[in-house]
Amino acid sequence: MRVIVVGCGRVGAQLANRLFQKGMQVTVIDESKTAFDNLDPNFRGRTLEGDVLAQDMLRRAGIERADSLAAVTSSDTVNVCVAHIATTIYPVPYVVARNYDPRYRSLFESFGVTALSTSDWGAQRMEEMMAGVALKTVFSAGNGEVEIYELSIPESWAGHRVGELVNDCGCMPVAVTRAGKAMLPDHDMALQVGDLVHISATFEGIEAIRRQMSGVKGS
| pLDDT tens-digit series, residues 132-155 | 556 778 887 876 788 898 888 888
Q: How many angstroms separate the Cα of 163 from the Cα of each of 1, 130, 148, 174?
A: 45, 26, 17, 12
Percent of the chain's residues with pLDDT above 90: 61
What's the start-to-end Cα distance of the chain, in Å?
54
The yes-or-no verdict on residue 68 having pLDDT over 70 is yes
As a whole number, mean pLDDT of residues 146-173 equals 87
What CA–CA distances, in Å, run from 106 to 58, 95, 100, 122? 25, 17, 12, 19
Between 3.10.450.50, 3.40.50.720, 3.40.50.2000, 3.30.565.10, what CATH number should domain 2-118 receive? 3.40.50.720
pLDDT bucket at 128, cuts 50 / 70 / 90: low
Strand order in the sheet with 135-141: 135-141, 146-152, 196-202, 171-178, 181-183
CA distance 145 to 100: 17
Residue 168: its pLDDT value, please?
A: 64
State residue 217's pLDDT score.
42
Sequence ranges of the chain with CATH classification 3.40.50.720: 2-118
b/e code 111-139 from CB counts within 10 Å (16+ = b): eebebbbeeebeebeeebeeeebebebee
pLDDT of residue 78: 97
**What topology is assigned to 125-215 in CATH?**
Alpha-Beta Plaits (3.30.70)
Find the mean pLDDT for residues 85-101: 94
Of the chain, the percentage scoring pLDDT greater than 70 comes to: 92
Q: Where along the chain do the CATH 3.30.70.1450 domains lie?
A: 125-215
- Annotate 160-199 with b (16+ C-beta within 10 A) or e (fewer): bbbeebbeebbbebbebebeeeeeebeeebebeeebebbb
Torsion angle in degrees (nearest 10) through CA of 99, 103, 107, 110: 110
Flag whether pLDDT at 64 surpasses 90: yes
Q: Are 213 and 157 in contact (CB under 8 A)?
A: yes
| pTM, full prediction | 0.66
Q: Evaluate whether 1 touches 25 at the Cβ level (below 8 Å).
A: yes
